[in-house]
Copies of this chain bind each other. A is one copy, B any other.
Amino acid sequence: MTRAVPDKGTNGLQWEAGAISCAEWTGVKLRDVLADAGLDLATPGPDAKHAQFEGAEAYGASIPLSKVLDAQGDVLLAFGMNGETLPADHGFPLRVIVPGNVAARSVKWLKKITVSDEESTTQWQRRDYKCFGPNVAKPDWSKAPSIQEMPVTSAITRIQRPEAGGKVNVEGYAYSGGGREIVRVDVSIDAGKTWAQAELMGDEGKGSKSWWWKRWRFEIPDEGDKGGEVLVKATDESYNTQPEDY
């Protein structure tokens, strides 16, 4: 379940519901580039476990090599965005796109790729973008796995209250990592006591799996509009759903 304001803060930047957009990327598959560079895709060897990326600034990150080698993984070296040359803010001349994974792995202004037996040694890979138990005060960063695929999530982006007559319209998006499609979005207007299903809108992205967001809308029934808090939770095709708290 996603609330507009989190009940308790996290360390670092407060991203709240996260930052998300849905673009069409043009590029070449990283697996093809690695094959051209001499990597044996079928048997890359026991030391070939991670693909590390370095950006032209300080940033760096890595992903499991299995994600790159997976023909359905769709890991791209992108030079185009929405049919145009990749903008500077989005990583010109070349960036990685790792669909289904946290965007922190989609390194911009790409300078170097290394196939390695270990994860990237940057602070962003080793000491950031990890989660710990809710009561952990002093986290052991070495024990928690780096976030790669994202959990199921959702957000309300707009509540439209018509000036005269008409029903209140609620809109938002839902998303799950790993290419898992959103199959259901539940909305509550009574603080979670009852739930109804939102209408899922017909976005269809490209690629091997459901990498894109699912937009949804919901009309609050006349008798239900008490002006209270609206809650949303999503379910993906593996029937993972959002917890009420963390």
Contact = CB atoms under 8 A, between A and B. Distances in A.
A184 B244 contact: no
A133 B186 CA distance: 7
Nearest to A150: B238
A233 B134 CA distance: 12
Nearest to A181: B145
Task: Count the copies.
Answer: 2
A238 B148 contact: yes
Given A70-B72, A72-B66, A178-B178, A184 B133 contact: yes
Contacts of A149: 180, 237-239
A135 B237 contact: no
Contacts of A245: 244
A161 to B, nearest CB: 24
Contact of A133 (B196, B237, B242): B196
A39 interface: no
A56 interface: no
Interface in A229-246: 233, 235, 237-246
A183 interface: yes
Interface in A99-155: 131, 133-136, 144-145, 147-152
Contacts of A195: 133-135
Interface in A184-199: 184, 186, 194-197
Contacts of A197: 133, 136
A172 interface: no
16 contacts: A66-B72, A70-B72, A133-B186, A133-B196, A134-B195, A135-B194, A144-B184, A147-B239, A148-B237, A148-B238, A149-B180, A149-B239, A151-B239, A152-B240, A177-B238, A243-B244
